[in-house]
Amino acid sequence: MARVLLIEDDDAIRVSLGKSLTAAGHVVSAVAAGADGVAAVARERPEVLLLDLGLPDLDGRDVLAMVRSVSDVPVIVATARDDDASVVRLLDAGADDYVIKPFSAAQMDARIRAVLRRLGKDQQGESTVEVGGLRIDPRSREVTVDGSPVELTRKEFDLLLALSRRPGAVVTKRELLAEVWGLPWGGGDRTVDVHLSWLRRKLGETAAEPRFLHSVRGVGIKLAADG
């Protein structure tokens, strides 16, 4: 189903999880150190990266930052911490999903499939959306404003795409957390706000002077042409 890179220093987990994911249909490669993992991301261009935070050579969060500097590969983080603040920090740092230790191979396989669904396997049949001078093509994942291309990160595009699926309608931050980040709970408003701020900057607008992304206080965000 996907080319998966596993960065895990525990030999038993690395071998067992690799075998289970291979049996589930994935093509799996695995390394034990963070530096080797970053090099493998650049070399192999995996479709999904599974990252354990407890690595012998580098802190897993540093590995995540290094990966994000060279690739937009979807990253699923394995962490022992399940409090909201820790999870939100990981998502803000660039993780796409997370699993709490201990986890089963079946749970990880489900997370991989969910991330792939969110990132575009279900976007191939979607039509281009145009809102004012903004054009969003889900199939090519390209965005233009007044005919000029706009370079977005994967999460910025996913956020814009989620809003474009309901043009003119107010979408709550909780709905955006569930659809874009896979988090069906509150407490992550800062994650949405930060990405909205980045997205607005790239679209040439501000919260005070919106052109496409309009905040409705206490409710959410809507995508609509100004005026």
Residues 6+ apart with CB under 8 A from 212: 131, 132, 134, 203, 205, 223, 224, 225, 226
Q: Summarize the confidence of residues 170-196 as an average pLDDT.
A: 78
- 31/115 same-domain check: yes
Quick one: DSSP state of residue 53? S
Q: Summarize the confidence of residues 121-139 as an average pLDDT.
A: 79
| Confidence category of residue 18, pLDDT binned at 50, 70, 90 | very high
| Confidence category of residue 183, pLDDT binned at 50, 70, 90 | low
Picking from 74, 89, 121, the residue at the C-terminal end of a domain is 121
Predicted pLDDT of residue 204: 94
Q: What is the DSSP string of 77-146?
A: EEES--SHHHHHHHHHTT-SEEEESS--HHHHHHHHHHHHIIIIITTTTPPPEEETTEEEETTTTEEEET
- Asked whether 78 and 50 are in contact (CB, 8 A), the reply is yes
Predicted pLDDT of residue 115: 84
Total domain count for the chain? 2
What range does the domain containing 149 cover?
124-223
- 7/116 same-domain check: yes
Helix (H, G, I), strand (E, B) or coil at 147: coil
pLDDT at position 187 over 90: no
Picking from 91, 121, 151, the residue at the C-terminal end of a domain is 121
Helix (H, G, I), strand (E, B) or coil at 186: coil
Q: What is the layout of strands, in order, in the sheet containing 213-216?
A: 170-171, 220-223, 213-216
Cα 194 to chain center, whole Å? 14
- 95/16 same-domain check: yes
- 92/145 same-domain check: no
CATH number of the domain that 102 lies in? 3.40.50.2300
- Asked whether 6 and 33 are in contact (CB, 8 A), the reply is no
- Asked whether 34 and 7 are in contact (CB, 8 A), the reply is yes
- 140/99 same-domain check: no
Percentage of the residues of the chain whose pLDDT score is greater than 90: 43
Picking from 88, 121, 154, the residue at the C-terminal end of a domain is 121
Cα–Cα dist 113/96, whole Å: 12
- 59/45 same-domain check: yes
pLDDT at position 227 over 60: no
Predicted pLDDT of residue 120: 62
Percentage of the residues of the chain whose pLDDT score is greater than 70: 93
Predicted pLDDT of residue 21: 92
Cis peptide before 102 (omega within 30 of 0): yes
- 117/32 same-domain check: yes
Predicted pLDDT of residue 139: 81
Predicted pLDDT of residue 37: 94
State the chain's mean pLDDT as an integer. Answer: 87
CATH number of the domain that 136 lies in? 1.10.10.10
The encoded tokens of residue 153 equal 């990160």
Cα–Cα dist 216/206, whole Å: 14
Q: Pick the more confident residue, 226 or 28.
A: 28
- 18/91 same-domain check: yes
- 23/47 same-domain check: yes
Predicted pLDDT of residue 28: 94
Per residue in 191-208, pLDDT tens?
888 899 999 999 999 999
